[in-house]
Structure 1
Amino acid sequence: MKYASITDRLADLGGAKWKVHFEARKLRAEGRKIIELTIGEPDVPTPDRLIDAATAALQQGRTGYSNGRGEAGLLHALTARYGQRRGRKFTPQQFLCLPGTQTVLYLLFAALTEAGDEVLVADPMYATYEGVIRASGATMVPVRLLPENGFRLQAADVAAKITPRSRVLFLNSPHNPSGAVLGRDDIAALGALARQHDLWIVSDEVYEDLVFPGVAFHSPLDFPELADRTIAAASISKSHAAPGFRSGWCVGPEEFIARALPLAETMLFGNQPFLADATAAALAAPSDVAPGMAARFQHRAQMLHQRLNGVAGLRVTLPQAGMFALIDVTASGQSGEAFAMALLRAKGVAVMPGESFGPGLAGWLRVSLTRPDEDIAAAAEAIATFAQEQVPA
C-alpha cells in the first residue's frame, strides 16, 4: 500500500522525544515514587470564573456549530486585548480562532510554506516545531542559540543562514525550553532582516503572561513596520491554566487571515461556542493565575540554581519567563538523554533530555518548575547526589 509523503517526513518526530517521560509514567504505574518534572502543565487548576463561564454557556445552549473564523464575542475580546497591549488598532478580521497553539502553528506553516521553502528557527526549540514545519514540506533551518547570549536569537546568526529559499522567520519568545525573552532591540534587528529579505515572521507567544517580575515582554506586533508580515499565535493554556480547553488563536494581516480561512475551515469548521465564550471571559480581564505562577516558577528556578549550579560541573541557567529551567550536564561526559534516563532509574526524578529540543541542547536537561517547592527541593538534592556519583574517583 502507498502512503502520502507526509507520513515519511514526520515518522521520527512523534513520541520518541518523550521517551523519558513515558518511562517515568510506566515506573509510577508500577508503584515507584517518581518526581515528574517533564511536562509544562500549570500548577494550579483552571480558575472558577472560566469553569463558570463555560458551564453557563453550555446551559444556555451554546453547543451548536460555529463559523470558521471564531465567535463574535471572542473576536471582540481579542481585538480589545491586542489593541490595548500593542498600542495600535486591530480589527476582528485579523484573527482566526483554533483549538490551541499547536493547531494554529500547523495552519500557519501550511498556509505560508511548501516543498523547497525554508523556515529559520532557533535551536533549541519546542519539541513539536520540527513537525509543524516539515508537515508542509518545508525545510527547517536551525539557528543555534548560545548560553553566552542568554539563549536569545541573534540577528547576525540568522543572517548567516538566509538563502533565496528562506520564507519564514519563526520566533518563540518567551522561549521554550530556555525561558529567554527577546528584548525590543533584538526584535528590531530581527525584523529589519525580515524586511530586507521579504520574510514572514511567525511568533509563538503562548508564554507572554508568564514573564517573571522585572522582565518586559516585546512582540514583533509592537512594530507597525512589521505589521504586514507578522503573524502571532497564542492560547489560554498557560496564561489561564486551561490547557484542556484547547483554545488558541492567531493574529495577523487581514489579507493573510482571509487567505488562511478556507484552510482553517478544512481543518475544523469553527471551534466550540461554549469554549469561545469562556475564552472571551478569560481575556476580558487580567489572568487570575499568571502572576502567581510566574513568581513561583522564578523562585523554583532560583532554588535549582542555588543548590545545583557548580555542583559536579553542573550549570543551571536562570530563565526570564515560562515554566522551565535548563541544566548543563556535559561535565558528566554523558548525553542529556543518557543522564536523564539514568537519573530516573537511580533516583526517581524525571526530567526531559535536552536532545528532545534539538542538537543545540545536547548534553543538557530541561526541568519543569510546575511541581511544589518541596518536590523541586527533593529533586535538586537527588540530582546533586547523582551528579556527584558520576564524577570518576
Structure 2
Amino acid sequence: MCLYLCGPVHPKLIILVFSERLRIITFICYIATFQTTSNPTENMEERKVPEVILNSGKKMPAIGLGTASIPLPPHETLTSILIDAFEVGYRHFDTASFYGSEEPLGKAVKKALELGLVKSRDEVFITSKLWSSDAHPDLVLPALKTSLQKLGLEYVDLYLIHWPLRLKPEARGPADMLKENVMPSFDMKGIWEAMEECCRLGLAKSVGVSNFGIKKLNQLLENATIPPAVNQVEMSPSWQQGKLTEFCKQKGIHVCAWSPLGSYNSVYGTNAVMESPILKEIASARQKTIAQIALRWIYEEGASPIVRSFNKERMKENIELFEWELKQEESQKFRHIPQRRMFSGINFVSENGPYKSLEELWDGDP
C-alpha cells in the first residue's frame, strides 16, 4: 500500500518487491514448520488416563500396557514399540522376569525421559513380577534386584508374586512350565514376608500377587503386615471373575486384568472375546471397537485392564475408553456371554505339587 501512496511506481519494481516478500514469508513458514515437527512432544495428542489409589496410598494409571509376547520381538524393536506407547499416552507398563521384556522396557523409559515424553520417573508406573523359580523367601530380594538391574531403575512401582507356586530353579521359560517342574511346597508366609521387606527397603513402592483365588488371599491376609495392593488375574468379558473381584473390593485389593481381550496367539488360548456376537452388536451400535467395549466394561467393573498391542493405532484405540460409558442395558448383556477360563493352568497340577486338581489351583473356581 505504501508504494501507491508515495506516487507512481514502475510495475516491475512492484513485482520485485512482492517476490522478495513472498520469499521471506515462505522462509518464515519453513522455520515454523521445522520448529513444530522437531520436538516429538509438541505433536502428541494429550490423553488423560485416570488413576486409581491403591491401599498403599500410591497412584496407579487405570490402564496398563502388557509386554508379554511369545515369541518376544527383538529388544530394539520392542523398545521402539514401547516408545510409541509413551507417545500415545501410556504411563503404566507391565513386565515380569519371565517375559524377558524388562531390559527393553528400561531402555524405553530412559529414552522417553530423554525425548521429554515424560518429565520424570515419577510419571511412569512399572509393574514387574517374581517368577516361580525364585518363589522362596531367600530368593525374593535377589530376584527383585536382578529385575531392577535389567530395568535400569532404582525401584518398581508394583512387585507381584507371579503364581502361587514354586518351580525348580532351572524352570525359567515357557517350555519349562511342566508338571514335573512343580515343587512340592509353596511357602506363602515366608515369601510374603520377603515381599514386605522389598517394600520397606523402597525397592518396590507397592507389593501384590497374581493369579490368587479367594482361599489363597484369605490365607495370605491372615499373616500379612502389608496387605497386597493388587491381585492381577485373568479377567475379560469371557471370564468375568465376579466372585473374586467382589471379594477383592471388600478387602481393598485392586484387581488388574491380564488378557482382557483374550488372545490371538494359540499359545495363550482363545480369541472368544473379539469374536463375541454380543460385543460385536454393542460395538456396532456405539461406533466403537470391540476392544473398546470390552475394556470399558472391565474399567466399569472397578478393575484395571493390562492390554497388549504392539500396533500403534490399536494402542490409541485401546486407551480411548475413559470419556464415555456403557448404557445400563448394554452392561446387562455381558451376563449372557459364555464363560470359559482361557489359561487352564493344567501344567501346574501335579501329584507331587501343592495342587492336586484344578479346583485346588483355582480355589474351587476352575
TM-score, length of structure 1 as denominator length: 0.28
Q: Which of 1 and 2 has greater Rg?
A: 2
TM-score, length of structure 2 as denominator length: 0.29
For CA contacts below 8 A with separation 6 or more, give which structure has more relative contact order.
1
